[in-house]
Structure 1
Amino acid sequence: MQKEIELAVLPEFIEDQEHILQLGVKNLKINENRIKGFKIRKRSIDARGKQVLYRIRAVFFIDDDPSPVIFSKSFKSLENAQPVIIIGAGPAGLFAAYRCLERGLKPIVIERGKSVQERRRDLAKINREGFVNPESNYCFGEGGAGTYSDGKLYTRSDKRGNVQKVLEIFVEYGATEDILVDARPHIGTNKLPHIIEDMRNSIVEHGGEVHFDTRVDDILVSFGKVSGIKTADGQIFNASNVIVATGHSARDIFTLFKRNNWLLEAKPFALGVRIEHPQEIIDQAQYHCAVRHDNLPPAYYNLVEQVDNRGVFSFCMCPGGIIAPCATDQNEIVVNGWSPSKRNNPHANSGTVIQINLEDVPNSLTNPFALLDFQRSVEQQAYEFGGGNLVAPAQRMVDFVNNTTSATLPENSYKPGTTSVELKDVLPDFVYQALKGALPLFGKKMTGYYTNEAILVGVESRTSSPIRIPRNKETFQHPQVEGLFPCGEGAGYAGGIVSAAIDGMNCVDAIKA
């Protein structure tokens, strides 16, 4: 027999199995000898009261031994299997490839960037020299933008598909089982590349193909049906189904669609800055303490405010994290954030953004590239004000609100460097005004948040794709091209690692159907 119960556990006892067992005995009111084991199903932190607690849901096995959970899987032979071309090896592409193995299809993954190991050299050049390789960077390469953007797996995508299955696949390839339990699961940028690499090796071992340094320059269509793809070096790959899972920054794919007169549409996205505080300020505010307990993780926050009917919100919050340069071209500044698995860096950062709607940008109803061009112009403006070499324009928080140039900037985690500017000159005025109004209000919600110890770094602009590639809701195919499956974040159907992975698997299911 199994009984699932909720327990409140003090941080100092969260690793104490005997203590949790005794709490279970007390709650269930049964003899301890009848309990053969327990398993924590969910774990979250409750910091609403003065005493911070862990809330756990645990299954207790009464009179029955717990059975082991097996995550590894065997696949059928792909000999003579139908090929499916998957453009992009990000979360959507890799999970689509995995799903192909499950469904007896042969995945052929085409990735413009490099493998995770080779990609590291290009990331080092970005941080040390301010040099961006347009084919291999924080956005392009094995694992896509997700590989080096923290590995946050928190999602509200339950209605789109099986979130638990995605998490279990990550565990199968090396993630800790904690991600199955934690309310805000997180792998860490230091661990995720190895998991991605093992996943790719498994895809190849079971009969799939993965081609790196291979950019797709055309999707071949005959009589309205996909017949394959053509790469930049002239290779032809033939297949009657192509999944386009290229991520939010592959702007050349949108140009490819435009060249072929295939439908595209402008899509709202969010734009703003990345804000970084000393982590101890966030810990003190969220945990109501002078020093965070060792058994509590670095604290996170989630802030939302309305300013003149515009929503301003925190995005992709990285406790103990790093601000990363995520440009995909030489003449732009794009910032994002990530954390290692231990989240043990001294700073906490978060994107703080507002939504850019179609009505904010002229001609966006008739020109699908209007919001992308707007996005690009802000990134190029940030590059100009930064002065080159990926140096980012920045300002202290209170100075930003008071429209004052910061005499100095606080120590921060952005490796290429920051330079003091007035960010109102970088950001569109309506974005600046919304942020200016929201930050003091955030300070009223969270003690210590509104401070000149915090730095604003511009610009956070790749929150999602500014273009959507239309598809049929039932078949997942582009309305003009049979066998063409727009997929994931780049096509406008996902917003993070887990939702992109789910969308990749859903596209394969649509192919099989």
Structure 2
Amino acid sequence: MSTLVQISILPHQQENKDVVLQLALEKAKLKKAKLGDWRIRKRSIDARRKPVKLNLQVELWQKDEVGTEIPVYLPQQVSASKEIAIIGAGPAGLYAALRCIEAGLKPVIFERGKDVRARRHDLAKINKEQTVNPESNYCFGEGGAGTYSDGKLYTRSKKRGNVLKALQWFVHFGADPDILVDAHPHIGTNKLPKIITSMRKAIIEAGGEVYFNSKLTDLRLKNSQIEAIEINAEEWHTFNEVILATGHSARDIFYLLHKKNIKIEAKPFALGVRIEHQQKLIDQIQYHGDDENPYLPPASYSLVEQVDGMGVYSFCMCPGGIIAPCATSPEEVVTNGWSPSKRNNPYSNSGIVVSIQPEDLPNFEPGDPFVCLDFQKMVEQTCWEAAGKTQQVPAQRMIDFVEGKISADFPKTSYQPGIVSVDLNKVLPPLIAKRLQKAFVMFGKKMKGYYTNDAVLHAPESRTSSPVFIPRDPETLEHIKVKGLYPCGEGAGYAGGIISAAIDGINCVDAVVEKLASSP
């Protein structure tokens, strides 16, 4: 049995392994002569007071003990195996495919967008030419939304599956091993494409298949069982097991399921704005003025308040990051944030969003599965119109927004297509705008200096999660009415980020394996 101990060190001490080990040995009351091996298991920042410290969880083994190995990806050849269709090559789809191979099943991935490298050209067109390709953008394409929108790997979904295994697979395909240690692991948009490419190559080398520019357009059922899928409105492929991992922005899939009388439901989601501060300011606030410490990373924050019966909270906070245009159709604007691996841009951004229940909405009707989706679309189109019907976004300085004043000018923004000065109180629905106004004042009391007119709101932050839920059986993970259809990941309402989506992909394949094993 190993021994786990918790120690605190000053940031600069992490460079000195002897100091770390000595503190861990003292805490464990273990002599160095009896030590066999040791490693840092977890690392987090404690910035509650000055001086800022690092909290480390250290694992120690005595000489007669054996350290346990972390599970890794175990490939095998599956070219002639049972075929499983996977719709979508985001984290849920890719991890489902890798788990298929481990289990001896053959994954066949159909991705509506382009491969991870080809996507770059379409992202450049959004930023420079303000042209949106509905099939290839920040949300659609190999790797899914997470590939080009930050690559944060933090999840609270410890009960949903093996988080360590999911992280280790990322390391196996090229991620920095530090993600196994950091409390809030992050890969970075600059590094994820290479990792995603390595995953795809491994899937193909094992006998799996991956098809790009291949959009699911229809399903054929027989006796409430999946029989075949149609791709690009022209090709039918026979599959009895289909993992639906299409992401939170594949609205056409929701409409298709509804048209086929496959049950879907309205789902709570969140909507608001993306706020941008100078990263130096956030560092000063969070590190109590110790913002020049070279051993501390760019600071992040997490904020939440209850405002008039609804939660208002920070979402997808990106230290040293960039605000990106994430529309999936030409007549809408959407913002999101991302950071490179070093998080070394001068800006800090975060979504600040209001949690919405379907019954909160003015257009609510019981049983309408599209009430939240329609509201989301309405806000995105209104913002598009307010900013001039381009990929520029409506914007306002924070205090100006709270006080209802049009901003006369702006500091430089990281949002490349550009921003347009508007009164967001007249653009955003009142149930959103009024709560954001109150929340920003409250946040300023929690973080002294956060409430400043140097901060700029970019609207909207609207793709926090899927506004539609695809119900599935909790035991078989199949749709409650359709055998062989496995709603999976963020798009179905079962995940909220890269790791939780990856885990759900693994879980769905485990359910397929169990079903096939029990079949006659």
Please state which band the TM-score falls in when normalised by the shorter chain: over 0.9
CA RMSD in angstroms comes to: 1.5
> Which secondary structure does the structure 1 equivalent of 2:55 belong to?
strand
* Code of the aligned partner of 1:330: P
Runs of 4+ in 1 over 6 A off after TM superposition: none
Taking a change above 3 Å as real, the CA distance of residues 51 and 39 of structure 1, as seen in their structure-2 partners, is same
Equivalence for 1:242:
242
Residues 2 and 65 of structure 2 are in contact (CA less than 8 Å); yes or no, is this contact kept in structure 1? no
Question: CA–CA distance in 2 between the matches of 1:60 and 1:290?
Answer: 32
Residues 68 and 369 from structure 1, CA distance in 2 versus in 1: closer, same or farther, beyond 3 angstroms?
closer
Which stretches in structure 2 are left out of the alignment for 5+ residues? 515-520
CA displacement at 1:65 relative to structure 2: 8.2
What's the counterpart of residue 42 of structure 2?
A: 42
The equivalent of 2:404 in structure 1 is 403
1:66 deviates by 6.8
Given residue 487 of structure 1, which amino acid in structure 2 is its aligned partner? C
Shift of 1:290: 4.7
Amino acid in structure 1 at the alignment position of 2:433:
Y
Partners of 1:74 and 1:309 in 2: how far apart? 48
Is the counterpart of residue 445 in structure 1 residue 443 in structure 2? no
Task: Tell me whether 1:268 sits opposite 2:268 in the alignment.
Answer: yes
Do 2:123 and 2:138's aligned partners in 1 also have CA atoms closer than 8 Å? yes
Give, as a single letter, the amino acid of the residue that structure 1 aligns with 2:272.
G
Q: Is the 8 A contact 1:266 1:364 kept in 2?
A: no
Equivalences for residues 262-411 of structure 1 within 5 A: 262-361=262-361, 362-411=363-412
CA contact (8 A) 2:149 2:339 kept: yes
Residue 13 (structure 1) aligns with: 13
The answer to which of 374-383 and 281-290 deviates more is 281-290
* SS of residue matched to 1:448: coil
Displacement of 1:73 after TM fit?
A: 3.8
Does the 8 A contact of 1:272 with 1:353 survive in 2? Answer: yes
Bigger mean CA offset, 355-364 vs 168-177: 355-364
CA distance, structure 2, for counterparts of residue 307 and residue 240 of structure 1: 47
Contact 2:265/2:468 (8 A) holds in 1: yes
Partner residue, 1:166: 166
The residue type equivalent to 1:128 in the other structure is: K
The CA distance in 2 between the partners of 1:272 and 1:260, in whole Å, is 32
* Residues 511, 28 of structure 1: alpha-carbon distance in 2 compared, 3 angstrom cutoff: closer
Deviates more, 1:346-355 or 1:304-313: 304-313
Partner residue in 2 for 1:195: 195
Offset of residue 104 of structure 1: 1.1
Task: State the TM-score, normalized to the length of structure 1.
Answer: 0.97
Deviations 1:242-298 (Å, cap 9, x if unpaired)?
111100111111111122111111111100000110001111111102533111111
Q: Report what 1:259 is aligned to.
A: 259
Q: Which amino acid aligns with 1:400?
A: F
The match for 2:421 is 420
Confirm or deny that 1:183 pairs with 2:183: yes
Which residue does the alignment assign to 1:458? 459
Contact 2:72 2:168 in 1 (8 A): no
Q: Secondary structure at the match of 1:160?
A: coil
Equivalents in 1 of 2:290, 2:413: separation in Å? Answer: 22
CA distance in 1, matches of 2:420, 2:492: 34
Contact 1:228 1:242 in 2 (8 A): no
Distance change (3 Å), C-alpha of 1:3 and 1:432 = same
Corresponding residue SS for 1:198 = helix
**Deviation at 1:68?**
8.8
Distance 1:2 1:306 in 2: 43
Q: 1:501, CA displacement in angstroms?
A: 0.8
Q: Deviations over 1:146-201 (max 9, x none)?
A: 11111111111011111111101111101111111111111111111111110111
Task: Deviation per CA, 1:87-129: give whole Å up to 9, x if none.
Answer: 0001111111111111111100000000000001100111111
- After superposing the two structures, state which structure 1 stretch, 169-178 or 70-79, moved more: 70-79
Measure the CA separation in 2 of the matches of 1:211 and 1:233. 15
Which residue identity lines up with residue 479 of structure 2 in the other structure? H
What amino acid is aligned across from residue 315 of structure 1 in structure 2? F
The one-letter code matched in structure 2 to 1:392 is V
Q: Are 2:213 and 1:230 equivalent residues in the alignment?
A: no
Q: CA offset at residue 79 of structure 1? A: 4.2
Q: In structure 2, give the amino acid aligned to 1:425.
A: K
Amino acid at match of 1:147: T
Q: What is the CA distance between 1:30 and its match in structure 2?
A: 4.2
Q: How many angstroms apart in 2 are the aligned matches of 1:20 and 1:65?
A: 21
Give TM-score scaled by structure 2 length: 0.96
For the residue of structure 1 that corresponds to 2:291, the secondary structure is coil
Give 1:491's aligned residue.
Answer: 492
Q: CA deviation at 1:417?
A: 0.4
Tell me the secondary structure at the aligned position of residue 144 of structure 1. Answer: coil
Whole-angstrom CA distance in 1 between matches of 2:337 and 2:382: 20
- Separation in 2 of the partners of 1:316 and 1:52? 23
Give secondary structure in 2 for the equivalent of 1:39.
strand
More displaced 10-residue stretch of structure 1: 353-362 or 61-70: 61-70
1:67 is displaced (CA, Å) by 5.5
Q: Note if contact 2:43-2:182 (Cα within 8 Å) is conserved in structure 1.
A: yes
Which letter does structure 2 place at the counterpart of 1:281?
Answer: L
Aligned to 2:518: none
* 2:439 alignment partner AA: A
Equivalent residues of 1:89, 1:143 under 8 A apart: yes
Answer yes or no: is the 8 Å Cα contact 1:71–1:172 preserved in 2.
no
Q: Could you say if the C-alpha distance between residues 290 and 27 of structure 1 is closer, same or farther in structure 2, counting changes exceeding 3 Å?
A: closer
**Matches of 1:398 and 1:87 in 2, distance apart?**
44
Give the letter aligned to residue 460 of structure 2.
V
Q: Which amino acid aligns with 2:9?
A: V
Secondary structure of the corresponding residue to residue 116 of structure 1: coil
Structure 1, unmatched stretches of 5+, are none
Distance, in Å, in 2 between the alignment partners of 1:35 and 1:493 is 43
On the 8 A contact 2:489/2:505 being kept in 1, the answer is yes
SS in 1 for 2:112: coil
Give the residue type in structure 1 aligned to 2:307.
V
CA contact (8 A) 1:100 1:106 kept: yes
Question: How far did residue 509 of structure 1 move?
Answer: 1.0
Q: In the alignment, is the contact (CA less than 8 A) between 2:79 and 2:208 conserved in 1?
A: no
Opposite residue 313 of structure 2, the aligned amino acid is F
Q: Distance in 1 between matches of 2:104 and 2:290?
A: 56
Q: Give me the whole-angstrom Cα distance separating, in 1, the residues matched to 2:386 and 2:69.
A: 54
The Cα of 1:36 is off from its aligned counterpart by: 4.0
Distance 2:325 2:71 in 1: 35
The share of aligned pairs that are identical, in percent, is: 56
Distance in 2 (alpha carbons) for counterparts of 1:144 and 1:63: 45
1:410 to partner: Cα distance: 1.4
Q: CA shift at 1:396, angstroms?
A: 0.3
Cα pair 2:335 2:462 within 8 Å, conserved: yes
